[in-house]
Amino acid sequence: MAPKPPSKGSGSKFKSSSSASKPSSRPSSKPSSKPSSKSSSSAKKRSVPKPKDQIKTKRADAPSTKKKRRTYTEKELGIPKLNMITPAGVQKPKGKKKGKVFVDDQQSMMTILAMVNADKEGQIESKMMKARQMEEIREARRKEAEMRQVDKKSKLEETKNSLRKHRKRKSDGDALNATDANAQTSAPKKNKKRVSFG
Amino acid sequence: MRQLTEKETETLFSKLANYTGRSLTHLIQPPSSESSDPKNPSSERHVFRIQNNRVYYVRESIANLATSVARANLLSLGTCLGKFTKTGKFRLHITALDVIAPHARYKMWIKPNGEMPFLYGGNIVKAHVGRWSEDCPEHQGVVVFSMSDTPLGFGISARSTAEARRLEPTGITTFRQADVGEYLREEDTLFAT
């Protein structure tokens, strides 16, 4: 994946063409067009301690070589990220101001307050809705329970009534029997011996 | 002493908004600020400042003057609203009562026979409630007043108003969070450490 720096091959080409003493990158731009000028510049160099304009020309050449030697970032190369020691949350973004950001102007405070207020209103609203729903459910349950209670009571009454009727019927028959029985029992009572101490 | 950061401001406001309604904006922007009278200090802008984890609500001119006091030497200024815990939450102090009471959303008035139990740190039972705001949901911030409209403290509603109506007289309607009795009970720690 690592980029092949293209300067190497071309540099070696130039090296072969140019003199061995010179650095490889310098004459890269115009070696074939002006060979005479190149030789003259080298001669100058030896004699005079680097005139300023010449340095400039060299600098003008420099970017082209730099471009060739440019290092590629991991993003450009598409290399998968390594597991770094510093977690992503800890890494501070570049170009951002260090330290705390204070809020002191009215406008920003008002916006924060508006946000908070809206949030709270929503919470209260949802709470009320929930409470209302729960209340409805409770009411419905209560009504159902009441209905059940009434049903139960009415059933109980019915059974009671039915029992009463049943007993009445029974008691009618019983009453006759009872009178007979009384009559029977009253007779022997009369015969009972009595003792008086008078 | 410094201004609050965005996060801190949000935490503080969300706590205050538990007890107050929309009129909380008056804290930041007093209603009379348009006709600001330099002679009347109440119309002057108030700001929030943090000092040793405590948040103060201060008149801006005093806050500016206080910058001349070193942080280590500055004990207190303005009205203390509460303090930031180490986990970043905010805890309201009883000293904030004066700030939140005028803007209270849900109120509860307690009878004279319930004042002392409340001021000694007890929760409010139904038998002691004189009046309450309608439509109060449960677990919502409530400001507690005496029957003569004197703010006594604040707390959290234990039940919604509808549920509290059906409650037995000894049932708790409001959990106490702060009461003015703390001025005596917590005298040592209320303003320092």
Residues 6+ apart with CB under 8 A from B150: none
Chain-chain contact of A112 with B162 (C-beta, under 8 angstroms): no
Lowest mean pLDDT among A34-48, B11-25, B49-63: A34-48
Neighbours of A121 (CB within 10 A): 13
Name which of A109, A119, A131 is nearest B160 (Cβ-Cβ): A131
For chain B, say whether A113 makes contact (Cβ under 8 Å): yes
Band (pLDDT 50/70/90 cuts) for residue A168 is confident
Q: What's the whole-number mean pLDDT along residues B30-35?
A: 62
Q: How far is residue A178 CA from its own chain's centroid?
A: 87
A98, A103, A110: which to substitute to probe chain B, counting the most B Cβ within 10 Å?
A103
Chain-chain contact of B10 with A102 (C-beta, under 8 angstroms): no
Residues 6+ apart with CB under 8 A from A108: B6
Do B2-99 and B106-184 show the same overall fold?
Answer: no
What's the CATH superfamily of B106-184? PUA domain (2.30.130.10)
Mean pLDDT (chain B) is 90
A37 vs A42: CA distance, rounded Å: 9
Higher pLDDT, B93 or A178: B93
- Give me the interface pTM, i.e. the ipTM: 0.85
B10 contacts in chain A (CB < 8 Å): 112, 115-116
> Yes or no: is domain B2-99 CATH 3.10.450.220?
yes
Name which of B5, B17, B45 is nearest A116 (Cβ-Cβ): B17
Does the pTM surpass 0.90? The reply is no
Chain-chain contact of B28 with A128 (C-beta, under 8 angstroms): no
A103 contacts in chain B (CB < 8 Å): 3-6, 9
Band (pLDDT 50/70/90 cuts) for residue B27 is confident
Which residues, numbered 126 to 145 in chain A, qualify as contacts with chain B under a Cβ-Cβ cut-off of 8 Å?
127-128, 131, 135
Chain-chain contact of A113 with B13 (C-beta, under 8 angstroms): yes
- Listed by start position, the domains of chain B span 2-99, 106-184
B22 contacts in chain A (CB < 8 Å): 117
With 90 as the cut, is the pLDDT of residue A35 above it? Answer: no
Chain-chain contact of B22 with A135 (C-beta, under 8 angstroms): no
- The confidence score (pLDDT) of residue B21 equals 86
Residue that has been written with the tokens 């022997």 in this structure: A188
Contact A61, A26 (CB under 8 A): yes
From A126's Cα to the closest Cα of chain B, the distance in A is 10
- The confidence score (pLDDT) of residue B24 equals 87
Chain-chain contact of B162 with A103 (C-beta, under 8 angstroms): no
Contact B113, B107 (CB under 8 A): no
Chain-chain contact of A117 with B24 (C-beta, under 8 angstroms): yes
For chain A, say whether B34 makes contact (Cβ under 8 Å): no
For chain A, say whether B22 makes contact (Cβ under 8 Å): yes
Q: Where are the beta strands (DSSP E) in B85-150?
A: 90-92, 107-110, 124-125, 129-132, 141-146
B1, B2, B6, B8: which to substitute to probe chain A, counting the most A Cβ within 10 Å?
B6
For chain A, say whether B79 makes contact (Cβ under 8 Å): no
Buried b (16+ CB within 10 A) or exposed e, A24-63: bbbbbeeeeeeeeebeebeeeeeeeeeeeeeeeeeeebee
Lowest mean pLDDT among A15-19, B19-23, B51-55: A15-19
Lowest mean pLDDT among A103-112, A173-182, B89-98, B143-152: A173-182
For residue A70, the 8-state DSSP code is: P
A124 vs A85: CA distance, rounded Å: 44
Q: Is A174 helix (H, G, I), strand (E, B) or coil?
A: helix
- The confidence score (pLDDT) of residue B162 equals 87
With 90 as the cut, is the pLDDT of residue A157 above it? Answer: yes
Helix A35-47 / helix A52-69 crossing angle, nearest 10 deg: 120
For chain A, say whether B6 makes contact (Cβ under 8 Å): yes
Chain-chain contact of B9 with A127 (C-beta, under 8 angstroms): no
With 80 as the cut, is the pLDDT of residue A63 above it? Answer: no
Chain-chain contact of A124 with B22 (C-beta, under 8 angstroms): no
- The confidence score (pLDDT) of residue B29 equals 83
With 70 as the cut, is the pLDDT of residue B127 above it? Answer: yes
